Amino acid sequence: MLDKTLDNTSTPILVVRRDGSPTVLDITKIRAVVEWACAGQNVNSITLEAGLTTRLRNGVTTRDIQDNLIDCALGMCSPDEPAWRYVAGRLHIWNLWKDTQVSRGFGYGNYVAAVKFQLAAKRYDRQILQYSTEDLTEAGTWINPDWDRDYDYAGAVLLTKRYLLRDELPQEAYLTCALLLAVNEQPEVRLTVARAFYEAIAQRKISLATPILANLRIPNGSLSSCFIIGMDDNLESIFAEITNAARISKNGGGVGVNVSRIRATGSWVMGKDNASGGVIPWIKLLNDTAIAVNQGGRRAGAVTVGLDIWHLDVPEFLEMQAENGDRRRKAYDVFPQLVIVDEFMRRVEAKAQWTLVDPYEVKEQLGIELAEQWGDSFAAAYKTIEAELGKKIKLYKQVDARELFKHIMRSQVETGMPYLAFKDTINRANPNKHVGYIPGVNLCCESFSNVKPGLEAHCCNLVSLNLANVDQSEIADVAKLAVRILDNTIDITQPPFEDSKTHNDRYRTIGVGCMGLADWLAKRHLNYQSLTEISYLFEEVAYWCTFASMELAKERGAYAAFPGSEWSKGKLLGSKSLAEILPLTNEPERWQQLSQDVQTYGVRNSHITAIAPNTSSSLVQGCTASILPAYSKFFYDKWAKGTVPIAPPFIEDCFWFYRENKSLDQKIVVKAVAVMQQWIDTGISMELLFNLNQGVYFPNQPERAVKAKDIFETLIMAWKEGCKAVYYVRTVQKDDFKENSSEGCAACAN
């Protein structure tokens, strides 16, 4: 107990407050904070009092006491008592409240003063002044400080360190975002819409993507999350796109760069054969750009580089992050991505040959821009090319398709990459085939649309529905709010370069995603094999998001490229006809009506749904990441200042209904993602996690560990089931390397 920590003396103890002034220690104040932090949690506040180890002596600071309470709470957090992480989160928020009070002179309760304070410090965009003082005063009454108590320690720390501005409180940040997101709404509904936005965001039903939450309030912030650019085979295009990648990175976006059009190593330059250095030198420049332009100091720039599977430089591309070889041709800080056509996968299955070619020679000799081809068009073009091998086509290499795929798998097991983008699946679902094609995927493999080098760069804004906090009855309303938020974002963002602005204006691409699926399932005592329930959940999300975009088209007009699109033909969900949709649903009438309405009124957004990985933002949201199973029911994550406990939100009540991804057969995950993908018109960030320990997937065979064949079958299944991409392939390493140490990751891949 706190009383026993005092010496048996009547001499008052002086403590130092945050403003530097001394005051007499009041034990009741410490006890009040402890009880506030523990209220409603399944913990005993007395044990936290007893755990206080800071010596209560003259000169001790109130911050020392508070930090020690946080350390005590974290130390008591365990699989048996996971609620202590919420106690530590509340104590961290209390620190924030008190620091802000001291720094600016006031806390919650005067939102107008908070806005003026941030404007004076030039931290807030002056667009907030489009609201009158009366409007801001009314908006301030919506703030509910109690919502700050809902964060566990990991979420509270990440929120304050990454997203809040200096001298800003969480509810002020959310309210300011909501007001700015509604700034262009009609005056008579603007405050009503802003309040709906605020309550959904602040109650963590809708999660704003990092660029929106981090940049919306600041002057001249770019709000888009995802970009894809393409390089043409000339210096002007290459260096222009490197500059564009730098602009994207400066504003906190992730960028995909497709380099498939660039001539291969040994190709011709100005009529000289064997003069080209291929794609690797240009990738290295992108690599160094990502390091140099580090998102305003917040984190390193993030660039995924995509190369089509037929490109002659693919073998070197797969080795560019290996330790051996010429270090001048290495790029360790980009994220490699292979763009794979169905023809290659068919040849992998058939153990047939695959031909690697130079796109420059193919274009010069046969007039084929191979990077633009997909599906049947690619298959026909490829047969034409292979018929000319040794004749018009002299720069080529033939390899065994399955051996090349094994090389890819080996790299994935060793490094987690390359990502795989299934080009034909992606383009079959492209609603805008009439005006272009999709060359590859973005940094997280869930967002993509048409790209034209030097003209259009894919640009997308993201939010996610937090399924842990959204009841079934709320899906319609929350989905409609999410679509409206993102459509408004398009009009207030400042794209970092002209090609991205052109794309924004023409396609109005958005991505409403989901997080917390593992929590949604656990609450309902379901699992990842509950495919009927999963399908219905994502049908609801898909229907209401599409409905909302159609309603916005009624109100504001369809996106510019709508005429001639698959949407305009009554196709939905990424070019699905009604004949494809109706067998999947028990509510055919609403889809039939929606198809008719879309043909009549259009849709506001060319792509509407996309499920991002949400790894960091899920911590702030207090849920499991994205749509994947929880990695573990309880674990410690290593952060800069120590280890932090991580657990799903309903772990105390639903412990047995959380399946741990580290021991779950990944074919179950693939099948579940494939069911979701039927309803998601863009993509899903699908990570695969393979446990290399013996007996994990084979309880009846304790000596059996995962083999290359198992990984191969899972990847083939992902392609066949209609998944559009494979994000990271991660592994859980062997627990014991003393025996069979030669059979590590590389051996497994072999």
Q: Give the count of beta carbons closer than 10 Å to the beta carbon of residue 119.
A: 15
Count of Cβ atoms closer than 10 Å to residue 110 Cβ: 14
Residue 538, helix vs strand vs coil: helix
Here the tokens at position 458 are: 């894919």
> Residue 302 corresponds to which tokens in the numbers above?
């993030």
In 616-657 the beta strands, taken as DSSP E runs, fall at 635-639, 642-646
SS3 257: strand
Helices (DSSP H) in 141-279: which residue ranges? 153-158, 170-181, 190-202, 210-215, 235-250
The number of CA neighbours under 13 Å toward the Cβ of 661 is 23
Judge whether 724 and 425 are in contact, CB under 8 Å. Answer: yes
Determine the 3-state secondary structure of 258 from DSSP.
Answer: strand
* CA-to-CA separations, 719 to 167, 344, 541, 610, in angstroms, rounded: 49, 11, 24, 18
Task: Please report the sign of the dihedral spanned by the C-alpha atoms of residue 546, residue 549, residue 553, residue 558.
Answer: negative
Calpha distance 124→103 (Å, rounded): 17
Report whether 313 contacts 264 (CB < 8 A).
yes
| Cα(461)–Cα(198) distance, integer angstroms | 18
Tell me which residues are annotated as active site.
442, 444, 446
Cα–Cα distance, 225 to 212 (Å, whole number): 8
Residue 34: helix, strand or coil by DSSP?
Answer: helix
CB 569 within 8 A of CB 434: no
Task: Report helix, strand or coil for 627.
Answer: coil
- Residues near 418 by Cβ (< 8 Å), separated by ≥ 6? 317, 318, 336, 337, 338, 408, 411, 412
Q: Which are the contacts of 387, defined by CB distance < 8 A and separation ≥ 6?
A: none
Amino acid identity for residue 550 in this structure: M
